[in-house]
Every structure is written in C-alpha cells, then in structure tokens.
Amino acid sequence: MSQKLKFNSTHQTAFFATVRKRVEVEFKERGLSKNANHFMWFKTFFFLTVFCSLYFLILSGLFSNLVMVGLTLLLGACAAFIGFNICHDAIHGSFSANPKINKGLSYLFHLIGANPYVWNITHNVVHHTYTNIPGHDEDIEVAPGLIRLDASEQVNKLQRFQHVYAFLLYGLASLSWVVRKDYKKFFQAKIGQQKNHHPKLEYFNLFFFKLLHYFIFIGVPMLVLDLAWWQAALGFLIMHLAEGTTMGLVFQLAHVVEGTDFPVPNEQGNIEEAWAEHQLRTTANFAPSSAMASFFLGGLNRQIEHHLFPKVCHVHYPFISEIVRKTAAEFELPYIENPSFVSAIKSHYRILKKFGQEAYEVKEQKLELAN
C-alpha cells in the first residue's frame, strides 16, 4: 500500500485518444447530451415507485408470512437496482449536468444502507484508477482469507471450496456495508493510495443516515406491525441478503472472470501499460444484448464502457460499446465479454475454483517436492 503506483503515460495512449474522439463525434452527430434522457428519468421514477410500493405493502400487514418474506426479498433486490441505476450514475456525476441534481440523487444511497461519500472514494477514485491491482483495489478484497481472487494472495485449505461457498458470502455484501464496511473505510488512515481527510459534515452524515436507515427498516416495522425485535431484525437481514446477493454477483462478473488480468506493479511501482489499456485488460462485459440486463443493472453489464467513460450516463452505453469494440480491435487490444449472465456466472465459478482449489493443489505439490 505504501508503494506509489503509476501507469505508463506513453504506451498505447493513442487508443484512448482515438476512442474518446470518436465517442465525442458520435454524441455531436446524434445531437445527444451525455447525461440522462427521458428514458433514464422513467427508470428513476419506476424503481423508486416500485421500492416505495413494496415497502408500504410490507407495512400494511395484509399478507401471510410467506408473502411478506417474498416482498422483503423483492425490496432488497429493488434496493440494489436503485443503487445500480440511479445512485451509481449520480455519484459519478453522469446523471445530470447539474451537480445539485447529482448530489440530491446520490443521497438515495443512504436509503439502501450505503454511504455515498465513502463510495465515491472507494469506487470512483480508487477502484476506477487501480482496477484489479492487488493491494490497491480494495473491491477485490471481498473476504480476505475466505475468498481468494488474485494469484498473489496467500493460499489456505478452506479456499479449496470457495467456488462453493463464495456465492453465499456475496449475500452478506450489503449487510457488511450497512453495519461495518462504511465505518471501517471512513476511519482508516488510507483507502488504497487515497489518504482520508473528511469534512466535518461527513461525520454527521455517516452516523445520522445510518441510524435513519436502521429506523426506517427495523424501527418503523416494529412500531407499525407490532413485531418483536428479532422479527424485525430477521426481515432486515432477509432484505440485505437479497440486496447483497444482487450486488455481489454483478460486481464480480465485471472484473473476476476468465480473461481479466490482476496486474502486479514492477519494482519501480509502475504498471507497464496505459490506464485505458489497463481498463480493457481488467474489465469484462456480460449479457450485452439483453434488454432486461441493461434495464435492471444500470449499464453495469457494460463495464468496459463504464470504466472508460464514467461521466457518461449508462443509457448511452449501447451505441458507445460498438465504437469501443471496433477501436479496441484496431489497436489489437482485448475486449472481454461473456454473451449471457449464465455464461458469466460459469466463468466466475471457474475463476474461483482456479484461485482456490487449483492453487492449493499446486502449493501442496511444491511442499511435497521440497520434502
């Protein structure tokens, strides 16, 4: 972490200059803004309406326990979709050309249990700069010691089975966010190479909005439905398991699949490629032709385009992707893509197995030879 990491500033920079120019020309020729269009505003209204409807249906108490569990699972999944579709773009500043609108919409992140200020540092600054670089990109440190996602991480016996249990642990992603991760990241000295110096207002925001989230999703159900504390806590857990599973799978399928790199800096602390090329080698798309994936996942199934153009609203990624694909081919650079959600899941499963079980077997063979 103490090593200052730099990207090669000359190698392959022509690719990014070319693709960026072509995208700019395409926007001008189409007469489009890079920000939200009418369809994006419709998605915003749709997901917020569904979320609020599910919440008040649960508070109505009109349904059986089984139906209530189903509604709670849907509420959790919808929370993830709000994060994907609205908050993600807003925090990147790509939803609107008006910073106040982006700021206001980013506060919806508090609604789903996460802190937008911390996310901006961990995701926008660190992850988008040092994608998949061990020791720098903390997004690949899902559960240190339990899930091994890069070849440089130490191997242990338990990881032999990570391709089996990892998918269950992904369900804890959202719960970890809401009760542990945001606090930990906020108070640690550095996130990646980014030193933490927080405005005083953010201390208030962290604790106030966390308490508000707990009150809305635990306190209010207890008051309205006359639930015992453990029943409300169970509902809270179910909601976040659904939210975490949805988020965890989508995030992993974008960077931890076959073909993506986990580059290690050289002795001088440099990555021997340009930043844009690095993004192509460490990022993958999935289900690019699926209208359903694009609608629900907020363009995160086209992560390559997102990483190259994070200031562009995700509704524009479909036509940008054709430009990026063709330009990458011209410069003989990779464009990693899984055709479907299922194929991406299978690829991620194989990577988990490789980094866990197979790596352990290699370690055992080396120990036998040494003895």
The neighbour count for residue 9, using CB atoms within 10 Å, is 9
pLDDT at 2: 47
**37-86 tens-digit pLDDT:** 999 999 999 999 999 999 999 999 999 999 999 999 999 999 999 999 99
> What is the full DSSP assignment across 337-363?
EESSHHHHHHHHHHHHHIIIIIHHHHH
Q: How far apart are CA 306 and CA 308, in angstroms?
A: 6
Q: Which two tokens stand for residue 69?
A: 């569990």
pLDDT at residue 71, rounded to an integer: 98
For the stretch 86-138, pLDDT in tens is: 999 999 999 999 999 999 999 999 999 999 999 999 988 888 888 888 777 87
**Which residue, among 84, 96, 92, 81, has the nearest Cα to 47 in the 3D structure?**
81
Residue segments in the chain with a per-residue pLDDT below the cut of 70 = 1-4, 8-12, 151, 192, 268-269, 359-360, 362-371
* Structure confidence at residue 239 (pLDDT): 97
Task: Enumerate the domain spans of the chain.
Answer: 6-370
From the DSSP assignment, how many helices (H) and strands (E) are in the chain?
Answer: 20, 6
Beta-carbon neighbour count of residue 253 at 10 Å? Answer: 24
Whole-number pLDDT of residue 291:
93
Q: What is the pTM of this model?
A: 0.91
The single-letter DSSP state of residue 107 is: T
b/e 167-183 (16+ beta carbons within 10 angstroms → b): bebbbbbbbbbbeebbb
Angstrom distance (rounded) from CA 300 to CA 255: 11
Closest C-alpha among 334, 306, 332 to residue 321: 306
SS3 content of the chain, % helix, strand, coil (to 5): 65, 5, 30
Structure tokens at 107: 């506060």
